Amino acid sequence: MFRLRSPARLGRNEDGVTIVEFAFVAPVMILFITGMLELGYVAFARSTLESSVLSASRQSRVADCPNENAKEIKKFVQSRMSTIRSYNNEEVQLEVESYSGQFGDVGNPEPLDDLNGNAKYDPGEVYTDVNGNGKWDADMGKSGDYGSFGEVVRFTASYKVPSIIPFVANQVNDGKDFYEIASTTVVRNEPFKEATCAL
């Protein structure tokens, strides 16, 4: 015969509590674990890119012909990054800027006569066109130029890493299904010409 339990006995009954608690905790735990997997994968990709750029600059020693050396750097980085799947099979993008012989010039603006003291260029102010492109620049580097002998060169490699868990990417990456990573290194070209370089 079926008997109804009294409210007092029902309040003390703990049958099924574990499954209810798991139902509350499981979604949060699963989201946390998948998020850690996603971020760990991106961190691994970024670390691989940084180490490949550093290794390329060390191995090449930026010797002999700067233009030929830059091609070797890109080839080396591309080879190392082939272990990480890229977004839409895009290759590593390599940007390069050359500077004078001073590391302190990297990332700095072209010198100008700041007449009104507002710490920025205004039309009509006199400036030194260091990179020779006919306009004032917030970075005095010559874009796309591998520099001459003894000059400082900045290499920036960028790569798009696809999300392995798109749901997580939509939550933490503004809806994009890939992550853009980049690494930069600054080196000095060898000062002495020891080879005949192709133009």
- Quick check: 43 pLDDT over 90? yes
One-letter amino acid for residue 49 of the chain = L
Nearest one of 106, 85, 96, 98 to 160, comparing CA atoms: 85
pTM of structure: 0.71
The one-letter code for the residue type at 144 is G
66-81 and 17-60 helices, crossing angle to 10°:
160
Tokens, residue 56: 């390329």
Q: For residues 59 and 124, is the Cβ–Cβ distance under 8 A?
A: no
Q: Percent of the chain having pLDDT more than 70?
A: 81
Look up tokens 């009104």; give the residue: 116
The rounded distance, in Å, linking the Cα atoms of 168 and 35 is 6
Per-residue pLDDT of 110-150, as tens digits, reads 888 888 888 788 888 888 898 888 899 989 999 887 777 78
Distance between CA 59 and CA 72 in Å, rounded?
10
Q: Which residue(s) pair with 181 in the sheet?
A: 159
Q: What is the DSSP code (8-state) at residue 93?
A: E
3-state secondary structure of 192: coil
Q: Give per-residue pLDDT as tens, 155-186.
A: 889 999 998 888 777 777 787 889 999 999 88
Q: Could you tell me the CA-to-CA distances from 63 to 29, 31, 98 in Å, in that order?
A: 52, 49, 15
